[in-house]
Every structure is written in C-alpha cells, then in structure tokens.
Structure 1
C-alpha cells in the first residue's frame, strides 16, 4: 500500500499524528468519499482536533499509518490488500466522529421463584460506530464480551419459552499469526503489576517492524510450526520452556521492567549507566540459573 502511494510509511510504532498533519486531513477526507461512505458527512465541516489523535510528544520518527488520499492505484489491489486498505481508511475517518454513547443496563427478570440477571449495553448515539455500519454490528453479534440489550421498562412482562442447554467448555484456541501479533502488542494486559502494565501499554513485546520476524525465527528454529492458519508448539519449543526455570525470563513482566526503567531514563530519574549495570547483573544471574539446570 505504501509503495502504491495509498498509505503513509508503515513501519511505525505509534498510533498518533503530528500537528502538521491536521491541515492536510480535510483534503484527504475529501478524496476518500468514493472509498468510504463515512467520509462523506465530514466533507465541508470543521474536523475536531483531539489530543487522543494529534500529539507531537507521542510521535518519534514517523506518525501513525493513514491514507494519503491518492486513490489512483486502488484498482491494482488484490482482495487482501483492499481489506487492509479499508481498515486504514475506516479508522482514519472514525477518529473524526464523536464518541459512541451507550447506557450500561442491568436487567433483573423474575420467572416464578427464580431471578435472572443480564448486563449489557444499549446504544444511545452511534458516533464513530456509524463509519463501520453493518460490519461492526456483525462483529458485535459474534462476541460474548459485549451484549447489546433492547430497551426495557420497570415492571414489563412478556411470554418466554424456557430451554436448557448443555455445553462443554472448550480449550483456548491456538494462536494464529494475526492473534499472536496482537497478543505481543498488548502483552501488558498479562502483567499484574500496574506500573509495569502502564509501561508496556505503548510498546508490548517487540516493535511493529520486528514482531513478524520474531515469529519467523521461532518457526526457523523449529520451536513452532504452521498448521494452516494456526501456530502450534513443537517438542523443541515445549522442552525449551520446560528447561527455563526462571519465571521472570518467560514472563512479559521482564519486558515491563525494562520499559519502566527506560521511561525513567527518559525522564532523567534513572541513569543509563545504572540500568546497564543492573541489566548485566540480571543477565549473568539468569544465565547461571539456566546453566545449572
């Protein structure tokens, strides 16, 4: 997409734009009306400028991936490339829409002597969700995390047909490359320590330009294998994990600790020399632990 001048530079590690991009956004939006219907209501209106989107302090070398507005090579895309381009375009348009407003609803229903409870959401104002339309509704309907409830009145009654379903819990699904990349990006959610979780919020494990190569290295070393879309661990990979007794070495908390120290260095509250010495001591200790097992 970048080589076809459809999107901006792709090897970035931020989701923010710089202030100098803002004046260009109306022109980009105007060129996307045939690509995304969500762009049309924005044309001719003042685009909101939010700190959640435009923040120079959150951008280093390159800003987040956005469409360029140049659609001349759009017809040359294959199906997969077109889907990725649509994701970029829809997200770019959605950030200029208002927030989605919803009511958190808890419904208690009495059936005879039993009380049933369900908690969900009732959408009040679609906001940015309008950009995605039916696609977002279909995704919500397949998710068990967010239940959208219709409106209820206190004391309302109605007929129901009771049924009992017997089900078995299922094992977690294998990672695909896409889901593993997502897990690497959001690895902080697996960390309990709030300080370390915050430090990993913007980085996760690896960088956008290196995460795919990390997975490829695991495949080349026979630690994991590809089975259709899934990534399956091989005996060599399971044996390696079994031989490493240091829980920290296998945990995203180690990355969190390093990211936390790097942020302290950025703020000037911790010296680079102290960090390197601490890192050296930590590595020596870990290597000795591995060698002794």
Structure 2
C-alpha cells in the first residue's frame, strides 16, 4: 500500500542501527515496486517492524523479531547477480551433466551471509566451472558407482501443509488451469489455517510432535473420495479461469452460476451414491418431480437417484422427523395426512399437513379453522 511505501526508508534505517544488523543495510536498499505491490495484497501486507526498539523480549520473541527484520532487509536490498553454467558431457553413450555458478554481486544474499552459497546443500551447483569450450575432450580421471535407496516424502508439518495448499495445482498438466491456480491454491490465506483445524476437529488427522499424521478415518475417507470430482484440485483452477473470463466480460455471470449449480448437484449425487459413505434403502416410490428416478432413503434425507434430478426431501421438519410411511405418502400423494407434534421456532406446538408446492419444495398446509358461527350453531 502507498502509506507503507513512504515508511519503508525510515524502518530500514532503524533496522540498520540495531547491533544485530550493523553493516547489513546496503546503500541502495530502497523501496521499489518489485517489493511493494499493492495489487498483490490480499488479507494484509507483509509483517514489518514498527521502529520501536525491541526491549525485554524473550529468546523466542527476539528470534521472531529478527527474522522479520532480516527478511525486510533482504526484500529491499539489491538483486543477486550470478553467472551460471551447465556442461553436458558424453561418455560411452551416456550423458553426464555438471552445473556451477559464480556470484558476481551478492545483493540480498549478503544479509545472512549467503553470498558464497552456504544455503545451498549441493556443492556441485555452486562450484566454478572451468573455461571449457564446446567440443573439448576431457580426460576420465575416475569412475565409481554409488548405491542408494529412494526415500518417501516426509510427513507434512502445519507449515509445509499450508505451503502445499498455497501452491496446489502446480503439477496440473493443462497450462491454462495451472496458470489459473497459480495465484489461488486451496483456500485463501485467511481460511487455510481453519481448514486444517477442521480436519483435526473431525478426526481426519492428528499431531504427532511436529508432524501431521492421517488417522484411519481420514485414510478411509480419502480412499473413497480420491477419484471423485469433489477431490479434483483442477476444479479450483477451472473456477478461477471462469471468474477471470467474467471479469474480462467474456462470460456472463449467470452461465457460471448455472455451472456451479450443476456441479453441486453432480458431486452431491456422486457422494450419496457411494455406499461406503452413505447407506441407502429403496423407498419403492418413483420421483414425483422427474418420474424417471427412484427415491432412496438415506439417514436424514430421501433423494432421487437420477443424477440429473436429485430431488431431496429432508425428514426433519419443525423439530419433527417424518417416518418412512409419512414420507411415502408425501411421495405418492403429494402430501401427508394431518400430522401432530411440530414445533415452531417460538416453541409452540402445531399440527399440519406436509405437501409439495409447484417446485417440489415441502411446505406446511394448515387445516381450516372452524368459524365461530358454525361453532355457535352446533352448541345450539
């Protein structure tokens, strides 16, 4: 944001005055649009120091504070400039590749002393390549065979899972979908942590020290839904691509809404048709709406098994659960008999008939009350 842009030089000078960062502030460390882009800010801008001296901090708090300060210095330092080289050599029909680089200007890497490549575990990629020319013949000095075993990917921590959610979709083959997923991922910065907490609350995974371990319940759910559309990460990319088209005026919003509605019906029917997730019973009644499907009993809902229809009828009505026979009356006759035991939101009991309206939504139909005149005649 513009107001932050104006404050950065003062904050950088303040960080440079701290003993821990003495000499690390580069003369050309100034705010640029490369590091400050208001268009990319979502929930909030990056963490910044305030200019107040960090006094009486615990060891942990001090570590976090200086992580933020150091990252600020890196963000506004000069670029790191290095020469990289890749050499491909052939021996007995087998290609060998060597990589190397020489840092010409440390830039931001000098803040933490990375100018010599200390952060890179691969010595081959930081070694200087001799001045070979294309077509040179190299002498073979030695050869060896190294045996090893591949390792499975480590378990996620909360930090790595958040990162994976942010970059989800980078392995999607479709270029357009991958580009659409580039800036969205799964969830938003404000919702990803709550998504993880929901997985804990529902017993799908648990903490084992720093690692996140899926439970048997979580693995069972994954084995069922992994091939379903609801688990397709490309779906998010498709939506983002469509939203971008709406923004450019290339797609009417109503078309997108209809696609979302169709998708919702599809995944709901797909999930409900899975016997491993939802046990169901045949009601023996045809769907009153489409006439092609059969209404199936599930736990709290009766639903048409025709994927193009999927008419739902919920059992719970005004704090009363409809029985199988009452549901069948509704499906075959379009209404139930007069039922007792309903309760309003105010806690008052009432009697009513449950019926379908013209759009096959369930509504209450109340019996006609006897007029006072009729009651008076009967008393006479």
**Cα-to-partner distance string for 1:40-88 (whole Å, 9 max, x where unaligned):** 224xx572523x3233333356333222232334x32442x43433332
| 1:201 equivalent among 170, 176, 182 | 182
Unaligned runs of 5+ in 1: 1-17
Higher helix proportion (structure 1 or 2): 1
Instruction: Indicate if the aligned counterparts of 1:176 and 1:229 stay in contact, CA closer than 8 A.
Output: yes
> Secondary structure of 1:188's match?
coil
Counterpart position of 1:124: 104
Q: How many residues align?
A: 269
| 2:21 equivalent among 31, 36, 55 | 36
Unaligned runs of 5+ in 2: 275-380
Q: Does 1:152 align with 2:130?
A: yes
The Cα shift of 1:136 comes to 8.6
After superposition, the CA RMSD in angstroms is 3.1
How do 1:42-61 residues align onto structure 2 when only pairs under 5 Å count?
Answer: 42=27, 47-50=30-33, 52-59=34-41
Q: Distance in 2 between matches of 1:227 and 1:46?
A: 42
What TM-score, normalized to structure 1?
A: 0.78
Which structure is richer in relative contact order (CA contacts within 8 A, separation 6 or more)? 1
The Cα shift of 1:212 comes to 1.7
Instruction: Indicate if the aligned counterparts of 1:100 and 1:128 stay in contact, CA closer than 8 A.
Output: yes
**Cα-to-partner distance string for 1:86-107 (whole Å, 9 max, x where unaligned):** 3322222222222222223123
**Cα-to-partner distance string for 1:115-165 (whole Å, 9 max, x where unaligned):** 743124332322221122149944312x69x82222412269799564432
Q: Does 1:284 align with 2:299?
A: no
Higher strand proportion (structure 1 or 2): 2
**Deviant stretches of 4+, over 6 Å:** 110-115, 155-159
Counterpart position of 1:27: 10
| 2:53 equivalent among 65, 71, 84 | 71
Distance 1:167 1:72, change over 3 A: closer
Q: Distance in 2 between matches of 1:271 and 1:88?
A: 44
Instruction: Indicate if the aligned counterparts of 2:25 and 2:73 stay in contact, CA closer than 8 A.
Output: no
What TM-score, normalized to structure 2?
A: 0.62
Counterpart position of 1:62: 44
| 1:217 equivalent among 179, 182, 198 | 198
Q: Distance in 2 between matches of 1:240 and 1:112?
A: 51
The Cα shift of 1:112 comes to 9.5
